[in-house]
Structure 1
Amino acid sequence: MEGINKTLRIQFFFRPFSTHPEVQMVIFVAFLLMYLTSLCGNATIASIIQVNHSLHTPMYFFLANLAVLEIFYSTSIAPLTLANLLSMGKTSVSITGCGTQMFFFIFLGGTDCVLLAVMAYDRFIAICYPLRYTLIMSWSLCVDLVAGSLVFGFLLPLPLTILIFHLPFCNDNEIYHFFCDMPAVMRLACADTHVHETVMYIISFVAISIPLSLITISYVFIVAAILRIQSAEGRHRAFSTCSSHIIVVILQYGCTSFIYLSPRSSYSPEMGRMVSVVYTFITPILNPLIYSMRNKELKDALRKTLRISR
């Protein structure tokens, strides 16, 4: 108990991106703009889908949930990161606060991965079984799939955040990162972390490989079905409904696999921090841009809403 109580009094600090205040301020402005753009973009997509009855379909229901999820996902990271940038790395966070941020980051990120798999399943049913689509993708099933994604995401971080409270931390309390990510925090422990790393790897592998396998299987059947379509216009329309989702999947799974499935011997704190910027700040911006730019129905609904608002 004495060791745990000592650990709970630990205060962590995040290493600044630069020792120059001017550079830190430029990075702060860039991160703030990316965060605000992400909030506005995803809020716009969720609102457009909500107010346009023509978009009240399973595909857009999942997209709206993804947009809302991205808002909370970004918010779990951005405020503390921005405060740290302004203070030149002097903003501290307790072990409890660090564990809380880690929990919500993994929870929302894991839910994001599963929801992308759900969206792939939706496209699989729409393209491979178009006549039975409305029968199979009932609203009750859609709600259950989203709820299941949340439950799966919620269960992922529980063992990881519990384990971190039992790690002893000594004098070094500067995290080589801009948020409380598990690999970066574990590097500060003054104890053997092989068990913790193994648990993290297993959970990460499950969280990434299972949804990614489902996505891959769905797209194998989708591509086979598209190639059987006779008209070029029909093939183009089918591919266009899936291309946006594929781009988002590559970005999300590519970055998370690099961070959480790389062996410790090849893990670079600096590279890990740079790659993390992509999936914590850049990807939440790209998601609404990718979906809105490549989706005619969404663009038409946006134009219609803007005309009405005038």
Structure 2
Amino acid sequence: MLGNRSSATEFYLLGFPGSPESHHILFTTFFFFYSVTVMGNILIIVIVCADKRLQSPMYFFLGHLSVLEILIISTAVPLMLWGLLLPGMQTISLRACSTQLYLYLCLGTSEFILMAAMAVDRYVAVCNPLRYNIIMNSNTCIGVVIVSWMFGFLFQIWPVCATFQLTFCKSNVIDHFLCDRGQLFKLSCDDSRFTQFILFLMAVFIIIGALIPTIISYTYIISTIVKIPSASGRRKAFSTCASHFTFVVIGCDSCLLLYVKPKQTQAAEYNRVASLMVLVVTPFLNPFIFTLRNDKFIEAFQDVVKRCCQLLKD
């Protein structure tokens, strides 16, 4: 579809293979996931902001994590849903493609840093409870959030610029539902092996950099919980960390599948499934992981519902 050395100015997204009927089923499924994710995370943000009982560092970080989840799923899923409704391939400009990839990567990076900060917060809460309010004060929490956002947006500038400096002359058809970096490398006529290797190292740096404080924090947390004499005390201490630990395991597993691979040009089906895990499944699970077993949040939610019912009656 392109000349020998002419670079693409727009791309065509193949989306999902299959018949129009299967596309309608996929649209219904992903629209449900997207709607629940957005509404669930908005509900978390509203309740955290509205209820005084949730004015603590853990819920402050959770509110920002919910904002990130909404933004991450919104970078690609609305476009993906639109593509499932339209017959044939979907056109996306070079600028829109680079913007989507940049937002997708930098928001994911910010989320990893925030997850590491939440692990440290749980370490301080369990292992240094008497100094918790001093260490995790409001200035510290705001600073951590600002750093996570700034680092994510700055760290991914070079990777995206390096990707779109390539010459895309083989084709302008991307076998994906979004502007996947691995698929972009497949379309390039340039020798991108060195760039791919550097991007692989950068992905490893982000994930390992987030995992190290998380692993260290949970090592100390577990050793502290084991020493608690009463079973109820151990259960209460563990319940404060269980939601975050579950989210870290799911998030890291899906990101390891997608990002940490020396060969960026892996099979399209593999990339599609891994991207769905990161973009759809993990953000969908977030509201349930952090709320269903959280008694304080459930009480706050019930109070909000009662207030809404009273307003409706009046």
Shorter-chain TM-score bucket reads over 0.9
> Following TM superposition, by how much is the alpha carbon of 1:165 offset from its aligned partner in structure 2, in angstroms?
2.1
Q: 2:312 corresponds to which residue?
A: none
Shifted more, 53-62 versus 81-90: the winner is 81-90
- 2:187 match: secondary structure: coil
SS, match of residue 76 in structure 1: helix
Cα drift, residue 6 of structure 1 = 4.9
Change (3 A) 1:266 1:194: closer
CA drift of 1:207 comes to 1.1
Partner deviation per Cα, 1:64-103 (whole Å, 9 max, x = no partner): 1101111111111112111221123422111111110010
Partner Cα separation in structure 2 for residue 267 and residue 214 of structure 1: 30
The aligned counterpart of 1:136 is 135
The whole-number CA distance in structure 2 between the counterparts of 1:266 and 1:180 is 13
2:114 paired residue number: 115
Of stretches 108-117 and 91-100 in structure 1, the one that deviates more from structure 2 is 91-100
Give 1:10 deviation, angstroms.
2.2
Question: What is the RMSD computed on CA atoms of the aligned residues?
Answer: 1.7
Q: Which amino acid aligns with 1:305?
A: V
User: Which string of whole-angstrom CA distances, capped at 9 and with x for unpartnered residues, describes residues 269-301 of structure 1?
Assistant: 212211211110111110011111121111111
Q: Which moved more, 1:115-124 or 1:180-189?
A: 180-189
Q: Deviations over 1:176-204 (max 9, x none)?
A: 22111212221211221102201210110
68-77 vs 16-25, which deviates more? Answer: 16-25
User: Partner amino acid for 1:13?
Assistant: Y
Listed as ranges, the matches of 1:1-310 within 5 Å are 6-7=6-7, 9-264=8-263, 267-310=266-309
- AA at the equivalent of 1:163: A
Distance in 2 between the 1:299 and 1:196 partners?
A: 48
Alpha-carbon contact 2:185-2:265 (below 8 Å) kept? no
1:171 CA drift (Å): 4.0
Is the CA contact 2:36–2:284 (under 8 Å) kept in the aligned structure 1? yes
Q: Would the aligned equivalents of 2:57 and 2:141 in 1 still touch at CA under 8 Å? A: yes
CA contact (8 A) 2:13 2:178 kept: yes
Checking the alignment, whether the CA contact within 8 Å between 1:163 and 1:196 is kept in structure 2 is yes
Q: Per-residue deviation at 1:266?
A: 9.0
* Structure 1, gaps ≥5 residues long: none
Normalising by structure 2, what TM-score? 0.94
SS of residue in 2 equivalent to 1:105 = helix
Q: How many residues align?
A: 306
Sort the Cα spacing of 1:30 and 1:243 in 2 relative to 1 into closer, same or farther, 3 A.
Answer: same
| Deviations, residues 107-154 of structure 1 (Å, cap 9, x unaligned) | 110001110000001000000000010011110000000001111111
Contact 1:16 1:88 in 2 (8 A): no
In structure 2, C-alpha distance between the alignment counterparts of 1:123 and 1:77, rounded to whole Å: 32
In 2: Cα distance, 1:28 partner to 1:196 partner? 35
Cα separation, 2, equivalents of 1:102 and 1:26: 26
> C-alpha displacement at 1:309, in angstroms?
0.7
Q: Quote the offset at 1:227 in angstroms.
A: 0.7
Q: Tell me if structure 2 keeps the 8 A contact 1:14–1:91.
A: yes
What is the CA distance between 1:156 and its match in structure 2?
Answer: 2.2
Partner Cα separation in structure 1 for residue 130 and residue 174 of structure 2: 54
Task: Give, in angstroms, the shift of residue 257 of structure 1.
Answer: 1.1
CA distance in 2, matches of 1:261, 1:56: 36
Q: Is the 8 A contact 2:225 2:237 kept in 1?
A: yes
Residue by residue over 1:230-275, the C-alpha shift from the partner in whole angstroms, topping out at 9 and shown as x without a partner, is 1101111111111111111111111111121123299332122112
Q: State, as a whole percentage, how many aligned pairs show the same letter.
A: 34
Letter paired with 1:108? L
CA distance in 1 between counterparts of 2:58 and 2:152 reads: 21
**Secondary structure at 1:92 match in 2:** strand
CA contact (8 A) 2:71 2:107 kept: yes
Cα distance, 1:265–1:186 mapped onto 2, change above 3 Å: closer
